[in-house]
Each structure stands twice: as C-alpha cells, then as structure tokens.
C-alpha cells in the first residue's frame, strides 16, 4: 500500500483552496496510509543551536543537541517513510509560505537527505513522487512573478525527488469557477 505524506502549508484552515486540493489528491490516490503534517501549527526556524547540533557528528552530539534536532529528525523520518508527498502550496507574495520554508530548512540536511560529491550535490531521497497542490489569487504558475514553483521543484530535486507534478488553481481572483474546474480535472487525471 502507498504511504502518503500530506503537507499543508496554508495559514487558513477553512476555505483554503490548497487544503481542499490536497484532500482531493489524497482521496484520488487512496487507498493509502496517510501521515499529515499541518505546518500552520508551527515549525521552528533554524537558529544557532540547531546549526551547531546539525553540524556536529551524530555520535558526538550532546543530549541537548539531540533534543534540538528531534523535530528535524522526525520530519525527515516522515519524508523517508513516504512513497508520495502531497504538498499544499499557497503562493504568498509570489513565493512559498514561511512555514513551508521553515519545514524545508528542517528537512534539507547534508548527509541525511542530500550529500555533496565530486560531481556536485546528490539527493538521497530518490524513488519518491511529489504532487504539489498550488493555489494563488493571480500569480500564474510558471510566470515571471512566480518564485514558488521553481523553488519547490528545485528543492525537491536537490533532495532526490524528481517526479514532481503540479495541480494548479492559480487564477482564483480572476476566474474562480474555471480555475477550480481546471484543478479538479488535473486531480482526476492523476495516476494513482
């Protein structure tokens, strides 16, 4: 059975297009085991203690450093356990929400989810699929003012996830009915 990691990044819990789309996508891919991570509940930003703990070899970390990395370790374990990531991506001010960026910072760890080699960086999480449920009032996906889709695609590839599909509802302020109808068609077309 497929294991899905559902990531919701919208600050809205009600009337959120990206959350509605992640629900539709998960339902389309079911039956599956689903782990849900709601980033609106908060994800800590990196700080000096986190950086120090992360760059201390695991066998040399103090108990305090291990505790500092406990959430990051749990978030990485969720990603590693999943076959498919379903990520709700509302575009805020042309980019990803701060909570999603904080989650990315917690999981993009050298030696854990990627490594550097003589030929460049290598992602360590290959063989996974990601489906991104994008919602935007008027920032069209792939346009010159969209700094979210390229970033999330690059970051996922950086950690080894190169099978990335976008379901887009990116014109909600312009034509919500047609935009939602298009997004539902994209969900229906997804391979289970």
pTM: 0.95
Sketch the domain layout of the chain as residue ranges. 2-48+74-189
pLDDT category at 192 given cuts 50, 70, 90 is confident
Look up residue 11 and give its two tokens.
Answer: 């600050």
CB 107 within 8 A of CB 72: yes
pLDDT category at 82 given cuts 50, 70, 90 is very high
Instruction: Tell me: pLDDT of 1 over 80.
Output: no
Give backbone dihedrals phi and psi of 88, rounded to 5 degrees, phi first: -80, 120
Question: How many angstroms separate the CA atoms of 43 and 175, rounded?
Answer: 33
Give residue-wise pLDDT tens across range 56-81. 999 999 999 999 999 999 999 999 99
Determine whether the annotation assigns residue 143 to a binding site.
Answer: no
Give residue-wise pLDDT tens across range 154-163. 999 999 999 9
Determine whether the annotation assigns residue 136 to a binding site.
Answer: no
Crossing angle of helices 176-189 and 17-29, in 10° steps, is 20
Q: Which residues, 6 or more positions from 48, have their beta carbon under 8 angstroms from its beta carbon? A: none
Give residue-wise pLDDT tens across range 37-49. 999 999 999 999 9
- Give the CATH class of 2-48+74-189: alpha beta
pLDDT at position 57 is 94
Determine whether the annotation assigns residue 16 to a binding site.
Answer: yes
CB 85 within 8 A of CB 128: yes
Instruction: Tell me: pLDDT of 191 over 90.
Output: no
């Amino acid at each position: 059975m497929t294991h899905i990691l559902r990531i919701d990044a919208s600050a809205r819990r009600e009337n959120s297009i990206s959350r509605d789309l992640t629900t539709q996508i998960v339902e389309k891919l079911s039956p599956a085991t689903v782990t849900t991570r709601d980033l609106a509940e908060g994800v800590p930003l990196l700080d000096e203690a986190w950086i120090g703990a992360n760059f201390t070899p695991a066998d040399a970390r103090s108990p305090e450093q291990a505790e500092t990395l406990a959430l990051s370790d749990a978030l990485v374990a969720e990603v590693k356990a999943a076959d498919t990531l379903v990520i709700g991506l509302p575009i805020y001010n042309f980019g990803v929400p701060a909570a999603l960026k904080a989650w990315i910072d917690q999981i993009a760890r050298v030696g854990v989810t990627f490594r550097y080699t003589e030929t460049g960086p290598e992602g360590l999480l290959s063989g996974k699929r990601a489906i991104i449920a994008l919602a935007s009032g008027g920032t069209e996906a792939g346009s010159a003012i969209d700094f979210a889709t390229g970033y999330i695609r690059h970051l996922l590839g950086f950690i080894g996830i190169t099978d990335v599909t976008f379901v887009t509802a990116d014109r909600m302020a312009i034509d919500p009915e047609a935009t939602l109808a298009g997004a539902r068609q994209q969900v229906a077309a997804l391979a289970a």
